[in-house]
Amino acid sequence: MVINSPTEKSNRILTPTLSKPKAGKVVRRLKPGSYLFRAGDEANRVYQVVSGVLRLTCVLKNGHRQVIAFSFPGDFVGFSNGTEHSTECDVLETARVIPHRWGALDNGTLDRAMHQQLMQAALREIMNMQEHLVMVGGKTSVARIASFLSVLAERLGEPFGQYTKVTLPMSRSDIAGFLGLSTETVSRAISQICTDNLVARENANALVILKPAALKALAGGGFEGL
Amino acid sequence: MVINSPTEKSNRILTPTLSKPKAGKVVRRLKPGSYLFRAGDEANRVYQVVSGVLRLTCVLKNGHRQVIAFSFPGDFVGFSNGTEHSTECDVLETARVIPHRWGALDNGTLDRAMHQQLMQAALREIMNMQEHLVMVGGKTSVARIASFLSVLAERLGEPFGQYTKVTLPMSRSDIAGFLGLSTETVSRAISQICTDNLVARENANALVILKPAALKALAGGGFEGL
DNA sequence: CGGGACTTTGACACCTCTCAACTCTCGTGG
DNA sequence: CCACGAGAGTTGAGAGGTGTCAAAGTCCCG
């Protein structure tokens, strides 16, 4: 996932120094709209995202679909504490993932490096969710969007002249579900940021970050610091 | 932590079948107000809560103190992905905790049972935060309080005639910070639930759950199901 | 060119936050 | 023993932000 207000610390997290996928390692290719796993599926693997974008969701009792996280290259998905998944993971942008046998942690068949990597991934996941929690639990809609865009810019921003362009791989509805807002409020917040000239709109899903610093300031920041 | 809408699944999570603390194992005793760890402290241990109540917080850049989680007996605290903590953990109710060397996971000095237990704890932590996220990200104040009280009733409720009594170990301010509300809204929501006769007030911090089922229904539920 | 899904914008109602006053409890000191 | 004061909790009124409903605009694809 890792959608959060970027601090010194989280920046480091956002670009983790993962060991390169080994040559000959199994890589699954996933098309947009397909599911990596569904609720009820056996949870015996964790997936390392190599490319693309995934969406982690859960279905609430009231029928709503809550977005828990987005997964970008470098992230791990599929953590579950039971024998089966209670969340669903589908593909937003054509993705490649490396499956790791999760159960292998228990029987010692896993080499130490990968073992440690998975553990670190789990811890990073906890940290990410903590930061996400902070974001959802006490910021205005504009602050959440600013925070969201800042992270997206770092994760999948492309150079665009002297600026950074971000092509949103998810719908407004997804963003809304992720940030705990309605689609209309998301739209309004983005419009607001655009009229403030912090971001420019190329089209609905392509934004150019004009003032990254101001955007982060708007976000209000997550942990520590002054 | 584990403050969430209790589903079939999470019930199982809330009362984990942990191996009993071994005889002769080191147990730290903590008084209310003391810190188990602070932001910046070296993060080389994870603590298993045996008794008492802990509070996990982080300080935001704007000075506000956000409550990330409450920890009850059976929970683990102290997960961190870096070498030092970015969160703080202090004591609300006299607690006993068992420290586990986290780094031991890497060098294989840890026995397999404990290893697996720590891993499960980390996964449960992820799951808990996911559920908490759902709760904070799209419920009314009354639903959040209902959800919160339901979990508290299961975690530290005591028999009270035919009902269950819950003595809140934390302040309104803590609850507010945890649920992403203001103290006034927390107070109002509790009052609301009381006037609806779902809960009775013995005093400000002691509540008697009169209709647990109705309370859970109000909470709206977390994952899956209808 | 037309249909459909998504996005944007507007108007309004509702919920929550903020500010403020009041109550309650509890510990201190006269 | 009672009065006082501090802190926490409750309750009220008003303002602001967000959700909801509705309609118009945009984009993509058949």
Cβ pair B127:A86 closer than 8 A: yes
User: Residues B61-93, buried b or exposed e (16+ Cβ, 10 A)?
Assistant: beeeebbbbbbbbbbbbbbbbeeebbbbbbbbb
Long-range contacts (CB closer than 8 Å, 24 or more residues apart) made by B99-108 = B99/B26, B99/B28, B99/B45, B99/B46, B99/B47, B100/B45, B100/B46, B100/B47, B100/B48, B101/B44, B101/B45, B102/B43, B102/B44, B102/B45, B102/B46, B102/B78, B103/B44, B105/A116, B105/A119, B106/A112, B106/A116, B106/A119, B108/A112
- Which residue is closest, via its CA, to the C1' of D10? B187
CA of A113 to C1' of C24 (A): 59
Phi and psi torsions of A35, nearest 5°: -105, 135
- Rounded distance, CA A174 to CA A152, Å? 14
Instruction: At A215, list the tokens.
Output: 């955007």
Contacts of B2 (CB under 8 A, 6+ apart): B10, B13, B14, B69, B70, B71, B72, B75, B124, B128, B151, B155
- Which residue is closest, via its CA, to the C1' of D11? B188
Residues 188-217 of B with CB under 7 A from strand D: 188, 190-191, 201, 204-205
Residue A94 Cα, gap to closest chain B Cα (Å): 25
Query: Within 7 A of a protein CB, which nucleotides of strand C?
Result: 6-11, 15-20, 25
Whether B155 and B27 have beta carbons less than 8 Å apart is answered as no
Lowest mean pLDDT among B136-140, B178-182, B220-224: B220-224
- What's the confidence (pLDDT) of residue B182? 96
- What's the confidence (pLDDT) of residue B9? 35
Q: How confident is the model at residue B152 (pLDDT cuts 50, 70, 90)?
A: very high
- Rounded distance, CA A153 to CA A200, Å? 13
- What's the confidence (pLDDT) of residue B15? 38
- What's the confidence (pLDDT) of residue A42? 92
Q: How confident is the model at residue A24 (pLDDT cuts 50, 70, 90)?
A: low
Cβ pair A223:B64 closer than 8 A: no
Cβ pair B39:A105 closer than 8 A: no
A221 touches strand D (CB under 7 A): no
- What's the confidence (pLDDT) of residue A150? 96
- Enumerate the H helices of chain B as residue ranges: 8-14, 104-107, 112-136, 141-156, 172-179, 183-195, 212-219
The predicted-structure confidence for A133-165, as pLDDT tens digits, reads as follows 988 887 899 999 999 999 999 999 999 999 999
Residue A30 has pLDDT above 90, yes or no: yes
Residue B40 Cα, gap to closest chain A Cα (Å): 10
Cβ pair B222:A61 closer than 8 A: yes
B116: exposed, middle or buried (Cβ count in 10 Å: 0-12, 13-18, 19+): middle
pTM: 0.86
Whether B69 and B3 have beta carbons less than 8 Å apart is answered as yes
**For residue A190, which amino acid is it?**
I
- Rounded distance, CA A112 to CA A129, Å? 26
Residue A178 Cα, gap to closest chain B Cα (Å): 8
Taking contacts as CB-CB distances below 8 angstroms, the residues of chain B near A43 are: none
Q: Which of A13, A60, A126 sits opposite B222 (nearest CB)?
A: A60
Q: Which of A61, A130, A224 sits opposite B39 (nearest CB)?
A: A224
Percent of chain A at pLDDT > 70 equals: 81
- Rounded distance, CA B144 to CA B150, Å? 10
